[in-house]
């Protein structure tokens, strides 16, 4: 299950389409064809999270919310939730240093970004690399207001992915062709131009976070 991630901040959601995947969502036979693969590419969500009296101060969406909800601190608050500041910094670093730089976002790379903020913290305490990649590819993770995020105790994750915003991509023959010579090959190329600005628009990851 590969992940197509929008790496440029100057391209609005709902602008870039991948139309050479199969089946085409708007043309498929609803009886015989599986769910469509053509899609718009949306930017990662990443609300800035805040915690008051060990509870989230608002409803938050995106990567920082996911990290706050699913990753245990290894050092600063060993075995408990990250601080909000650490979750925000970790999320920003993953987006800037990995996704936007177009480099691998595998377990080692993610853990390096987490550990640089809170030593020895790893993504697999409760969360997963697949979840991070899914969020980077535009999936919506929502952490409700009032969710437990104590730095002195661990509470089970309270957030969840919504089902309406994100369409998974599968590693099919059409996908391989698109990455090699089709639409995705053009969108990820350094020669891609949008708004008179040249540079790769997307980073495409495998299900382990390797760059395709």
Cβ-based burial of 30 (10 A; exposed 0-12, middle 13-18, buried ≥19): exposed
Q: How many residues does the chain have?
A: 212
The pLDDT value recorded for residue 129 is: 98
The pLDDT value recorded for residue 32 is: 62
Q: What is the rounded distance in angstroms from the CA atom of residue 80 to the CA atom of residue 54? A: 11
pLDDT at residue 28 above 80?
no
Contact 25, 168 (CB under 8 A): no
Task: Report which of 22, 15, 13, 19 is spatially closest to residue 184, judged by C-alpha positions.
Answer: 19
Looking only at Cα atoms, what is the longest distance across the chain?
A: 54
Start-end of H helices in 58-167: 63-70, 84-94, 107-115, 129-136
Q: Which residue has the tokens 């993610």?
A: 110
- Enumerate the domain spans of the chain: 3-41+168-205, 51-161
Q: What is the rounded distance in angstroms from the CA atom of residue 69 to the CA atom of residue 24? A: 35
Mean pLDDT of the chain: 94
End-to-end CA distance of the chain: 12
Task: Report which of 27, 59, 180 is spatially closest to residue 68, judged by C-alpha positions.
Answer: 59
Q: For the residues 84-96, what does the mean pLDDT come to?
A: 98
Name the token pair of 62: 């995106």
The pLDDT value recorded for residue 169 is: 94
The pLDDT value recorded for residue 37 is: 81
DSSP H/E element including 172 = none
Q: For the residues 100-118, what does the mean pLDDT come to?
A: 98
The pLDDT confidence band at residue 40, using thresholds 50, 70 and 90, is very high
């Amino acid at each position: 299950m590969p992940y197509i991630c929008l790496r440029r901040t100057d391209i609005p959601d709902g602008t870039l389409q991948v139309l050479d995947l199969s089946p085409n969502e708007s043309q498929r036979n609803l009886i015989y064809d599986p769910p469509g693969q053509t899609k718009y590419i949306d930017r990662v969500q990443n609300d800035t999270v805040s915690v008051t009296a060990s509870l989230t101060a608002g409803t938050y969406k995106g990567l920082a919310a996911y990290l706050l909800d699913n990753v245990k601190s290894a050092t600063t608050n060993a075995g408990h939730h990250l601080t909000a500041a650490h979750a925000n910094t970790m999320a920003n670093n993953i987006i800037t240093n990995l996704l936007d730089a177009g480099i691998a976002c595998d377990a080692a790379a993610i853990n390096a970004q987490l550990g640089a903020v809170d030593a020895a913290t790893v993504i697999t305490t409760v969360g997963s690399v697949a979840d991070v990649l899914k969020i980077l590819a535009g999936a919506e993770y929502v952490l409700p207001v009032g969710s437990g995020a104590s730095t002195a105790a661990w509470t089970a994750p309270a957030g969840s992915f919504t089902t309406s915003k994100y369409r998974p991509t599968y590693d099919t023959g059409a996908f391989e062709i698109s990455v090699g010579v089709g639409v995705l090959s053009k969108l990820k190329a350094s020669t891609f131009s949008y708004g008179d600005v040249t540079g790769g628009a997307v980073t495409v990851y495998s299900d382990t976070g390797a760059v395709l």
